[in-house]
Amino acid sequence: MTAGPSTHATAPEAPTPEVLRAQLATVLARARARSAALTDCVDESELIAQHSPLMSPLVWDLAHIGNQEELWLVRDVGGREPVRRDIDEIYDAFKHARADRPALPLLNPAEARGYVAEVRDKVWDILDRSPLAGRPVERDGFAFAMIAQHEQQHDETMLATHQLRSGPAVLRAVPAPDPVHAVTPEEVVIPGGEFTMGTSTDPWALDNERPAHQVNVATFALDVAPVTNGQYREFIADGGYDRAELWSERGWAHRRSAGLTAPQFWERDGAGDWWRRSFGILAPLNPNQPVVHVCYFEAEAYARWVGKRLPTESEWEKAARWDPATRRSRRYPWGDEEPGSEHANLGQRHLEPAGVGAYPRGRSPHGVDQLIGDVWEWTSSDFLPYPGFAAFPYREYSEVFHGGDYKVLRGGSFGTDQVACRGTFRNWDHPVRRQIFAGFRCARDVTESA
């Protein structure tokens, strides 16, 4: 199943230890600045409150970030004495469901801030001393990068908590850009054939992205852009939520039991116009932005309504990475260079998806827009291991979720940091989840002519 060398993504040139150390310091500092911004903007009562049973109190996320950093960087990589061994069980995400965490003896906000600061002070010293080589967990700074990714993932979770909280708006960001070019045609045809999926060369890739392997994908058509609010509004107007034939059996049962009638956070006024509540601000629905806060079943029903389907995970990745001119898989749709503000809507620069057509420099070689950033995109694939998968550095990151009730999402959202987003990155969640920043695009089969 291993790909030939001509089809692999180019391995990044190994930086010097000094350059690598600076890169790791940058991603760690960026994550911590974001964690502080998401927790310093609310008072103590809001930090300890549970804003939804689906989410932890913000103060739990903050201390959990520090505890993971202590476990891996202070104790494992640094070989130092524990800072707070007594709280390991409290902040073990597998020991307590989110709904139960408010009842735990959590660190209060001042204690949590002091704890994460003490851990980080030790980590700076460990980073300075680490050879960034040797054991696999230390090689190329993997453990430091893993912790930066972990913190940014929790930052996105905390951002979702902010979306669920009630009360005045506390987050600020400049508006997302409007389209700068027309997204035409509506879809593109991706020719069938093999491509290299996953990676064996990206030093900071997580275990579920590995190893690189060849996948043969049949010819298919894919929407050039994610489904927009305006398009989804037409689905609602055509009775999409009332037509059982558009939904899978399980999806229809969930639509009825959960009382779904529109994407989460949509509200209709007395005149019949749609508005969307975003981080405490109610504004008229922007028809050009990708729809967000829809579950897998809603995406599936919409796709059936337009006579299409959701793409598979391998179809999504081929559209995002495969360059037919060079016959190799890129790291990103636009190439191997790191994302810039001209490529994609990432990193919480904006608090909303950008209008479709806002990032022409982020297009894939096949002409597909906005595959990275804006909204996580539901695929039809279950979360399963790749051939040759090996858990690293611990089973609980990916392996324990394989084969469960999870669908794969790809591409990242406006709330995803670039360190935790690339063409191979895999996210997963239950198909009923709507609090995540998820949207979708549609695909369809193409019959190849003889």
242-268 confidence digits (pLDDT tens): 999 999 999 999 999 999 999 999 999
| Mean local confidence (pLDDT), 211-237 | 98
- Could you identify the residue written with the tokens 């950008």? 354
The pLDDT-based confidence of 8 (bands split at 50, 70, 90) is low
pTM for this prediction: 0.95
Q: Any binding-site annotation on 99?
A: yes
Contact 197, 314 (CB under 8 A): yes
Integer Rg of the chain from CA: 22
* Same-domain status, 342 and 425: yes
* Same-domain status, 159 and 191: no
**The pLDDT of residue 135 is above 80:** yes
Q: Looking at residue 356, what is its pLDDT?
A: 98
Q: Looking at residue 5, what is its pLDDT?
A: 37
Count of residues making up the chain: 450
Structure tokens at 255: 């639509």
> Does the residue 372 lie in any domain?
yes
* pLDDT, tens digit (0-9, with 9 covering 90-100), for 397-440: 999 999 999 999 999 999 999 999 999 999 999 999 999 999 99
Q: What is the CATH number of the domain that holds 157?
A: 1.20.120
DSSP letters along 379-435, please?
A: EEEE--PPTT----S-TTTTGGGTTSS-EEEES--TT--GGG--TT--EEE-TT--S
* Same-domain status, 83 and 208: no
Q: Looking at residue 14, what is its pLDDT?
A: 84
Q: Please tell me the distance from the alpha carbon of residue 180 to that of residue 51, in angstroms, as a whole number.
A: 37
Number of Cβ atoms within 10 Å of the Cβ of 98: 17
Domain that holds residue 61: 17-164
**Considering the chain, what percentage of its residues have pLDDT values greater than 70?**
97
Q: Please tell me the distance from the alpha carbon of residue 426 to that of residue 313, in angstroms, as a whole number.
A: 9
* pLDDT, tens digit (0-9, with 9 covering 90-100), for 309-366: 999 999 999 999 999 999 999 999 999 999 999 999 999 999 999 999 999 999 999 9
> Does the residue 156 lie in any domain?
yes
Structure tokens at 309: 């389907």
Q: Any binding-site annotation on 64?
A: yes
* Same-domain status, 75 and 121: yes
Q: Any binding-site annotation on 273?
A: no
> Does the residue 179 lie in any domain?
no
Structure tokens at 296: 């897998």
* Same-domain status, 99 and 202: no
Q: Please tell me the distance from the alpha carbon of residue 161 to that of residue 64, in angstroms, as a whole number.
A: 15
**The pLDDT of residue 1 is above 60:** no
Q: Any binding-site annotation on 101?
A: yes
Instruction: Characterize the bridge pairing of strands 376-382 and 438-439.
Output: parallel
The pLDDT-based confidence of 11 (bands split at 50, 70, 90) is low
- 348: nearest Cα among 169, 172, 166, 170: 172
- What is the identity of the amino acid at 445? D
* Same-domain status, 325 and 429: yes
> Does the residue 114 lie in any domain?
yes
Q: Please tell me the distance from the alpha carbon of residue 32 to that of residue 90, in angstroms, as a whole number.
A: 21
Cα atoms in the Cβ-side hemisphere of radius 13 Å centred on 367: 15
The values of phi and psi at residue 380, to 5°, are -85, 0
Q: Looking at residue 359, what is its pLDDT?
A: 98
The pLDDT-based confidence of 448 (bands split at 50, 70, 90) is confident
- DSSP, res 447: P
Q: Any binding-site annotation on 125?
A: no
* Same-domain status, 222 and 151: no
* Same-domain status, 323 and 431: yes
* Same-domain status, 429 and 398: yes
Number of Cβ atoms within 10 Å of the Cβ of 324: 12
Q: Looking at residue 194, what is its pLDDT?
A: 97
* Same-domain status, 216 and 145: no
Q: Please tell me the distance from the alpha carbon of residue 178 to that of residue 287, in angstroms, as a whole number.
A: 11
* Same-domain status, 386 and 441: yes
- Could you identify the residue written with the tokens 């009382």? 259
Q: Any binding-site annotation on 100?
A: yes
| Percentage helix, strand, coil for the chain under 3-state DSSP, each rounded to 5 | 35, 15, 50
Q: Any binding-site annotation on 51?
A: no
**The pLDDT of residue 3 is above 50:** no
**Rounded to the nearest 5 degrees, what angle is found at the Cα of 235, between the Cα atoms of 230 and 241?**
135
* pLDDT, tens digit (0-9, with 9 covering 90-100), for 19-77: 999 999 999 999 999 999 999 999 999 999 999 999 999 999 999 999 999 999 999 99
Q: What is the CATH number of the domain that holds 309?
A: 3.90.1580.10
> Does the residue 432 lie in any domain?
yes
> Does the residue 171 lie in any domain?
no
> Does the residue 264 lie in any domain?
no
* Same-domain status, 145 and 195: no
What does the mean pLDDT of the chain come to? 96
**121-125, 130-134, 444-448: segment of lowest average pLDDT:** 444-448
> Does the residue 252 lie in any domain?
no
**The pLDDT of residue 299 is above 50:** yes
The number of domains in the chain is 2
Cα dihedral 431, 432, 438, 442 sign: positive
